[in-house]
Structure 1
Amino acid sequence: MGGLSEKVLFFGDLGIDDIFALFYAYYSEDIEVVGVVADYGNVSKDEAVKNARYLQKIFKKDVPVMGGARIPLTGKEPEYFPEIHGLEGLGPLSIADEPSSTFENFFEVAPLIDKYEGNLTLINVGRLTSLASAFVFFPETMKKIKDFYIMGGAFNYPGNVTPVAEANFHGDPIAANIVFSRAPRKVRIFPLNVTQNSIITPYVMDYVISEMNSGKMEPAKILKPMYDFYFNAYKKQNPSIQGTPLHDLMTMWAIKDKQCIIFADAPVKVITEEGDAFGQSIADFRKIREKALYPVHKIALRADYARFVNSFAETFIKGSNRSAK
């Protein structure tokens, strides 16, 4: 990675789209992931940690891995999504030979942030429990983060776990509100409104794999079955869909190409009361002077999807062949 690359601390639940996001960062010359917090969400915390350690071996990079939260602040047992991400978060693949250990080293987040003070971007693409905990445990340290990118929410848009709620906010709305109220600067939020359109078609995926060192590299061999599993899961839900949205990869891409995103500043709140609206994200987009007294953040409204797809293909192809050398 070049010295001018964006240093990124990654919080994720290490399912398929998280893994694609980390591959994108690995292959990009503009992004360097310097730490991974792995927690529950798509899979259990232990499976997420195991996947993060597996990626360490594939990337041949000793990026620090920290164990995050095991359950949400609601106290409920988390719901996993094996039909979307597979039993281990890798679609049809298994890494049973990878040792599973319980990481309770979350405190290592603080010195890592100190190390990159003022030059670290934090991206959260899973439930927000661990990130909220960081604001509770290390409030002064978190002020040293340069920028925050969060995948989550659905603003005036259908949800993906309920008619109105997106999975990351629905999984722990209490944590989401803590993050929005404690963040020292405006968070960049990437809701389903934008990420649902981050479609990678089978044609594009097949082309990328074929160009990744003729498809012979280990990454090429694992990315294709994961993509196919993910696409088939979406196809079962929506037979008309032409590809699979890679929500987390789009959020990672935005770190490099944020000029391709249109944002709107708006007050934000997530519903925590039980009922049909639980986990719903609300933003006050009204064109009036006195708006709702929620914390104001930057919500992505539109993205240059052609630029996203081109960047995905170019980054994976050039990066994989560069690393092969």
Structure 2
Amino acid sequence: MAETVTARRRIVLDCDTGLDDTLTLIFLSGRPDVELVAVGSVHGNVSAVQGAHNSAAVLKALGRPDVPVTVGARRPLAQPVQYSARVHGSDGLGEIPIDREVRVRSDSSAAEQLVQLARRYPGELEIVAVGPLTNIALALMIEPDLPSLIAGISVMGGAVTVPGNNTPWAESNIAHDPEAASLVFSAGWRRCVLAGLDVTLTTWLRPAELAAIDGLATPGGRLAQQIIRRFSAYFSVAYGRQSCPIHDPTAAILLLHPEYGQYQPWSVQVELARGLTRGATLADRRPFVAGKPEPPHPPIEVATGLNVDALLECFVAGIRAAGTAPGQQTEKEARGE
């Protein structure tokens, strides 16, 4: 009997590779149902150039130097650039030892790469965006039909129902480029998921997950152990907990497993005015219908709840599979089933 071949989902990861971006790279590389088509870097946790080299170094460590990595936007659309060395270290990877003899693409930008791939795979390509949204906004300017060419996009960003972390009102990825986020949220995608602090701050790794990852001897497992230790060191000071939430991987998991989340179809606007609330993500959450004005743009799927047990199990399974030889793990195991 012929073996059934499962079609893999083509994904582009757009990231500012710091600590939890790295966990996302490890997770996606361990999924047998994912074809990681390309990675684009963007300013944010570190410079776009540093982020690209971080991504390439991580992929090399995982045995995936075949994935093209392209440098993206070096600054926001309308404000000065800022970085997050306080959280992610001076190099974005917490100064862990890693082979940095890598190359990144220089023949196109991350936005151009995304447009090229969207045209090559119309209706098939999906985006996981876990940094500021500058590259996605620039791609929309290059190709206005991008939302119809892309099967779906999942964004780690925003704080719709909870406080921010960059400011009391704004989450970091949105605060780093509010104008770009505004363009992306109003574009009218086939599917757009927003995984903000509303849900990602519920994804703290628990003793069981930490122990499972600590027991891994695979390349992906060893790398994840170092990253989690560095990330947890920050959160032990900031939150008083010896663990860390998996902010960025949550966006990837919800794209692959929408059933792990609960969502509200809200039209999200971004505060662009200069002042205290710049970068805030605002949704009209009023329950009444009569007299309520039409939203300024199509609603997106704002994640408001998670099946945390399933999500964390899925994350650990992806880390377990990363860097292992083909055939060492079944597809169901890698999906956490």
**TM-score where L is the length of structure 1:** 0.91
Secondary structure at the residue paired with 1:88?
A: coil
Displacement of 1:22 in angstroms is 1.3
What's 2:89 paired with? Answer: 86
Secondary structure at the residue paired with 2:70?
A: strand
CA contact (8 A) 1:284 1:292 kept: no
Is 1:196 aligned with 2:201? yes
Give me the whole-angstrom Cα distance separating, in 2, the residues matched to 1:70 and 1:98: 22
Tell me the number of residue pairs that the alignment of Structure 1 and Structure 2 aligns: 318
Question: Relative to 1, partners in 2 of residues 1:101 and 1:256: Cα closer, same or farther, differing over 3 Å?
Answer: closer
What's 1:135 paired with? Answer: 140
Describe the superposition over 1:216-257 as per-residue Cα deviations: whole angstroms up to 9, x where unpaired: x33333221211110010110111x35201111111111221
Give me the whole-angstrom Cα distance separating, in 2, the residues matched to 1:96 and 1:60: 12
Deviates more, 1:191-200 or 1:133-142: 133-142
Give me the whole-angstrom Cα distance separating, in 2, the residues matched to 1:184 and 1:51: 29
Q: CA RMSD in A?
A: 2.1
What's 1:49 paired with? Answer: 52
Deviates more, 1:100-109 or 1:172-181: 100-109
Alignment of 1:111-126 (within 5 A): 111-126=116-131
Secondary structure at the residue paired with 1:233?
A: helix
CA contact (8 A) 1:127 1:172 kept: yes
Give me the whole-angstrom Cα distance separating, in 1, the residues matched to 2:63 and 2:98: 17
Tell me the amino acid that sits aligned with residue 95 of structure 2. Answer: P
Displacement of 1:112 in angstroms is 1.3
Is 1:156 aligned with 2:172? no
Tell me the amino acid that sits aligned with residue 271 of structure 1. Answer: E
What's 1:224 paired with? Answer: 225
Question: Relative to 1, partners in 2 of residues 1:293 and 1:142: Cα closer, same or farther, differing over 3 Å?
Answer: closer
CA contact (8 A) 2:42 2:72 kept: yes
CA contact (8 A) 2:16 2:44 kept: yes
What's 1:302 paired with? Answer: 305
Displacement of 1:127 in angstroms is 0.1
Percent of aligned pairs sharing the same letter: 25
Give me the whole-angstrom Cα distance separating, in 2, the residues matched to 1:114 and 1:85: 34
Deviates more, 1:201-210 or 1:80-89: 201-210
Give me the whole-angstrom Cα distance separating, in 1, the residues matched to 2:220 and 2:321: 13
Displacement of 1:122 in angstroms is 1.1
CA contact (8 A) 1:129 1:175 kept: yes
Tell me the amino acid that sits aligned with residue 271 of structure 2. Answer: I
Displacement of 1:96 in angstroms is 7.3
CA contact (8 A) 1:13 1:125 kept: yes
What's 1:293 paired with? Answer: 295
Give me the whole-angstrom Cα distance separating, in 1, the residues matched to 2:155 and 2:323: 26
Give me the whole-angstrom Cα distance separating, in 2, the residues matched to 1:25 and 1:102: 20
What's 1:268 paired with? Answer: 268
Query: Which of 61, 64, 70 is 2:68 aligned to?
Result: 64
Q: Unpaired runs of 5+ in structure 1? A: none
CA contact (8 A) 1:267 1:292 kept: no
Is 1:280 aligned with 2:280? yes
Q: Unpaired runs of 5+ in structure 2? A: 329-337
Describe the superposition over 1:167-216 as per-residue Cα deviations: whole angstroms up to 9, x where unpaired: 01111111111112223334211110101111113552232231x3xx2x
Tell me the amino acid that sits aligned with residue 63 of structure 1. Answer: V
Is 1:165 aligned with 2:170? yes
Tell me the amino acid that sits aligned with residue 175 of structure 2. Answer: H
Give me the whole-angstrom Cα distance separating, in 1, the residues matched to 2:207 and 2:107: 39
Question: Relative to 1, partners in 2 of residues 1:218 and 1:316: Cα closer, same or farther, differing over 3 Å?
Answer: closer
CA contact (8 A) 1:53 1:65 kept: yes
Describe the superposition over 1:65-121 as per-residue Cα deviations: whole angstroms up to 9, x where unpaired: 221100001131x22112211211111315474357783612232221122211111
Deviates more, 1:124-133 or 1:254-263: 254-263
Tell me the amino acid that sits aligned with residue 41 of structure 1. Answer: G
Give me the whole-angstrom Cα distance separating, in 2, the residues matched to 1:195 and 1:69: 25
CA contact (8 A) 1:49 1:103 kept: no
Give me the whole-angstrom Cα distance separating, in 2, the residues matched to 1:79 and 1:191: 20
Tell me the amino acid that sits aligned with residue 237 of structure 2. Answer: K
The structure richer in helix per residue is: 1
CA contact (8 A) 1:66 1:109 kept: no
Deviates more, 1:198-207 or 1:142-151: 198-207
Deviates more, 1:245-254 or 1:134-143: 134-143
Alignment of 1:170-181 (within 5 A): 170-181=175-186
